[in-house]
């Protein structure tokens, strides 16, 4: 690692600082980004042990908003009314899971839901019990 150098303002910088190196490097070709995408580009850089790649992947993979989390909390509130205060954690979890999976490839139709509710699933599905939160 290069020794730090002092600037005129008295701040110390390092010539091997990953951000400084990245900012002074040539601009990434737009065709590369359009062909592979930013996530694939930074994953490739991570495989080459580029220090900023982990941070770039963390930033790029973060949700753009908190809408999904807010939707889950709202759905939970709508799933339990004031008269269902004795619902078990397992029942609530199952109710929320089925509600979020319904209409997706996991549970595309009401017949899939009925199979689970009525216990007509395969043995492997029945053996997959959620862990207890109690």
Supply 11's token pair: 């701040």
CA 107, CA 125: separation in Å to the nearest integer? 13
**Same domain, yes or no, for 50 and 100?**
no
**Same domain, yes or no, for 122 and 79?**
yes
**Same domain, yes or no, for 55 and 79?**
no
CA 102, CA 6: separation in Å to the nearest integer? 61
Structural domain total, the chain: 2
Instruction: Count CB neighbours of 35 within 10 A.
Output: 10
- Assigned domain for 14 exists: yes
Paired strand residues for 16:
none
**Same domain, yes or no, for 73 and 41?**
no
Q: Select from 13, 35, 61 the last residue of a domain.
A: 61
Along the chain (134 residues), what's the average pLDDT of each consecutive run of 10 residues?
48 69 88 89 86 88 72 71 75 79 76 73 52 60
**Same domain, yes or no, for 41 and 81?**
no
Q: How far is CA 16 from CA 3, 21, 52, 88, in A?
A: 9, 6, 12, 56
| Full residue range of the structural domain in which residue 112 is found | 67-127
- Assigned domain for 132 exists: no
- Assigned domain for 134 exists: no
Q: CB of 15 within 8 A of CB of 2?
A: yes
**Same domain, yes or no, for 46 and 71?**
no
Q: CB of 70 within 8 A of CB of 76?
A: no
């Amino acid at each position: 690692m290069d020794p730090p150098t002092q600037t005129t303002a008295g701040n110390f910088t390092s010539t091997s600082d990953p951000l400084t190196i990245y900012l002074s490097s040539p601009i990434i070709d737009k065709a590369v980004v359009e062909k592979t995408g930013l996530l694939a580009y930074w994953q490739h850089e991570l495989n080459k042990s580029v220090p900023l790649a982990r941070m770039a992947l963390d930033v790029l993979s973060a949700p753009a908003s908190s809408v999904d989390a807010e939707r889950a909390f709202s759905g939970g509130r709508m799933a339990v009314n004031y008269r269902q205060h004795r619902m078990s954690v397992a029942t609530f979890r199952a109710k929320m899971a089925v509600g979020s999976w319904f209409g997706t490839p996991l549970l595309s139709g009401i017949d899939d839901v009925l199979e689970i509710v009525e216990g007509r699933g395969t043995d492997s599905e029945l053996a997959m019990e959620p862990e207890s939160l109690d």
